[in-house]
Amino acid sequence: AQSVSQHNHHVILSEAASLELGCNYSYGGTVNLFWYVQYPGQHLQLLLKYFSGDPLVKGIKGFEAEFIKSKFSFNLRKPSVQWSDTAEYFCAVTYNTNAGKSTFGDGTTLTVKP
Amino acid sequence: NAGVTQTPKFRILKIGQSMTLQCTQDMNHNYMYWYRQDPGMGLKLIYYSVGAGITDKGEVPNGYNVSRSTTEDFPLRLELAAPSQTSVYFCASSYSDIAGRLTDTQYFGPGTRLTVL
């Protein structure tokens, strides 16, 4: 079965620290990749996505992610986190053979200390 | 443009009761989804629909039913509620091309928090 792994369940950082959240997926075919964020009390919203082209994609609020096909990875990065980045982050993968169905990782809770 | 709306926001059910979670989108998206999110877990796909009149099972469909009579609406029915169905339920929609590839992101509703006692 196709799966998505997020290795860090809970990350705690101080403001201005750099962030990298890991995401690996299990399928080697054509994929679309997403990072979603869920701020406390809010619903999921898109941070960034990769469909094709430049494997380094930039999203909102200074986030970026790099697609490395050989490693089946799509890690999320931010050079300097802020307290307002405290949220839960989900990696999701849509496999093109799956008619639009996305598989989500279990999520990473990021806590940024002021 | 309200996006994806869900009702109710909260609900408490007794074991064995039934209810319908409503989901409506006004973006003319062809794909719609129902997910559940349990504490500390990611989203699990319950059912999805690729268009009006077409639905299919996701990863965790047992205990649920759906229908898609219109493009806009995708209600989720719980029959004989069980404590294991206590969760937060999210509806989402997206647009896909003819080949079934997502050409856009998934837009999520605000969620319904359901407790079964």
pLDDT tens digits, B12-33:
999 999 999 999 999 999 889 9
Contact B108 A105 (CB under 8 A): no
| A44: chain B residues, CB-CB within 8 Å | 43, 90, 92, 106, 108
Give yes or no for residue B114 having a pLDDT over 70. Answer: yes
Q: Given the DSSP bridges, would you call strands A31-38 and A87-95 parallel, antiparallel or unpaired?
A: antiparallel
Of the partner residues A46, A99, A105, the one whose CB lies closest to the CB of residue B105: A46
The pLDDT confidence band at residue B96, using thresholds 50, 70 and 90, is confident
User: What DSSP character marks residue B84?
Assistant: G
Average pLDDT (B53-74) is: 94
Q: Measure Cα distances from B46 to A2, A69, A84, B64, B71 in Å.
A: 16, 29, 31, 8, 18
Structure tokens at A68: 């490395």
Interval A74-83 mean pLDDT: 97
Question: pLDDT tier at A97 (50, 70, 90 boundaries)?
Answer: low
Which band of pLDDT confidence, cut at 50, 70 and 90, is reported for residue B40? confident
